[in-house]
Amino acid sequence: MSGEQGAARSLPPSPERAAPTLAARALLTAHPGPPYAPPGEGSADARVDLKLLRWKLEQALARRGTPAALARLEGLDTPDLLAGTVQDGTARGLALAYEEALSLCRPAAPEADPLADPLTKVFEGRELRRQREHTIESGGAKVRFSRKGGITLIDRASELMVEHCVAFEDRTDEGTLDGFVPREGERPRLFSPAFLQPVQALHGAAGDRLVLRGRLGRGPRGFPCEIVLEGRRAERTVRMTVRIENRLADHRLRIRFLSVPRALIAAEGTPGFEEVLAGHRRFVAATLVRACGKLLVGDEVVAVPGAQVQGWIEHRFRLGTG
C-alpha cells in the first residue's frame, strides 16, 4: 500500500464500508461525520460482477429509463458503493437495487439474430474439425482463428494485422478490495485461446460466428472458457464474448490484447483497463475476474467471500475501428 493510500486509510471508514448491510448503511448516513477515507485507486476492478451489472443498468437508463427506475437508485452513487469496496451484505443489497431498477425501465425491444436465416451454413462435428482456419468477418474488421496463429485481428481501416492478439494472464492476489497486490516472486501464468476447440461455425449473408470452448490452463488452476467471435456485415467491428467460470480464490485473471491499440478495443462495462509496456512488448489488459476476499474497514480486515466472484462471468468486447 502506498504512503498516499496509507494516509487515506487513517481517516474513518465511510458508512458504506462500515455497514454490514445496505439497510444499516442508511442509519449510518443519517448522521454526517468527519471526512471519510476514499476507496483505494486499485479498486477499479473490485467486484467485477457488480460493475458489469451497474454498466448494464446505466445503458438501460440512457435508452429506456423511467422516473421510478431513477428514484430506486437515488443516493446509491457514493464512492464506496460505485467502487464495490463494501461488505457482502451491502453488495447483495446494491445488486438487488440494480436489478429492481432494471425491472422498472421500459421493456427492451427484442434483438433479432442476424444469423437466424435458413440459408446460413452451420458447421459442427467432424466437418468443422476438418477446417484448420476460420475467418469471421464484419463490414470492416475481421478475425481469423487457428491452432497455429490463435486469434488474428485484421483491421483494414488502420492497416493492422496481429497474430496471437489475445491472451490471458492469471496471478495470485494478496491485496484487498482497495488494490491488487501480486505475490512476490511469482510470475504471471499465461494462457492462449489457440488451445480452445471450435464447436460451431456459422456463415451467412449477414455475417459469421465461431464458438470456441475448452479450458485455460491445466490441472486444478485452470478455467473453463467459452469465446464467441461474431462479425456482422452491417457493423465495422468484430464482436467477442468471453465467458469464464471461476472456482478459485484470491487471484486476478486478465485478458491481454497484444499489439492492439486501445482505440481498437471497446468493452461493455469490463473494468480495470490498463496499457502495459513489458520489455519490448506493449499490450492492453482488462480484468475478467478479480477474486479477493478482504476488505479494510479502518484498521480492521473484514472477510468478504462474496467478492471472490465465483461461478460464470461474461464480458463483451468489440475489436476494430468503429
Residue 187: count of CB within 10 angstroms of its CB: 9
Residues 267-289: what's their mean pLDDT? 92
According to DSSP H, which parts of the chain are helical?
Answer: 3-9, 15-18, 22-29, 48-64, 67-72, 79-83, 88-103, 125-129
52 within 8 A of 269, measured Cβ to Cβ: yes
Q: Quick one: which H or E segment has residue 291?
A: strand 281-291
β 166-172/133-137 pair status: unpaired
Render pLDDT for 130-139 as a digit per residue (tens, 0 to 9): 899 999 999 9
Here the cell at position 216 is 485455460
> DSSP characters for 76-143?
--SHHHHHT-S-HHHHHHHHHHHHHHHHTSPPPPPPP-TT--TT-EEE-HHHHHT-SEEEEE-SS-EE
Handedness of CA 42, 43, 47, 51 (dihedral sign): negative
Residue 296 has pLDDT above 60, yes or no: yes
pLDDT band at residue 293, thresholds of 50, 70 and 90? very high
Three-state DSSP class for residue 220: helix
Contact at 8 Å (CB) between 292 and 303? Answer: no
Q: Which pLDDT does position 9 carry in this prediction?
A: 60
CA dist 235 and 138 (Å) reads 6
Give 83-113 pLDDT, tens digit per residue.
999 999 999 999 999 999 999 999 999 989 9
- The grid coordinates of residue 277 equal 509496456
Residue 220: pLDDT band by 50, 70, 90 thresholds? confident
- Closest to 231 measured CA to CA, from 222, 239, 243: 239
**Within a 10 A sphere around the Cβ of 266, how many other Cβ atoms?**
15
- 303 forms beta bridges with 294
pLDDT in tens, 160-213: 999 999 999 999 999 999 999 999 999 999 999 999 999 999 999 999 999 999
What does the pLDDT read at residue 4?
38
Q: Residue 28 has what pLDDT?
A: 79
The average pLDDT across 243-270 equals: 97
Averaged confidence pLDDT in the chain: 93
Phi, psi dihedrals of residue 231, rounded to the nearest 5°: -115, 130
The label of the residue with cell 499490450 reads: 283
What domains lie within the chain, and their CATH numbers? 3-103 (no CATH), 121-319 (2.70.98.30)
- CA distance linking residue 15 with residue 228, whole number of Å: 41
Local structure of residue 262 (DSSP, 8 states): G
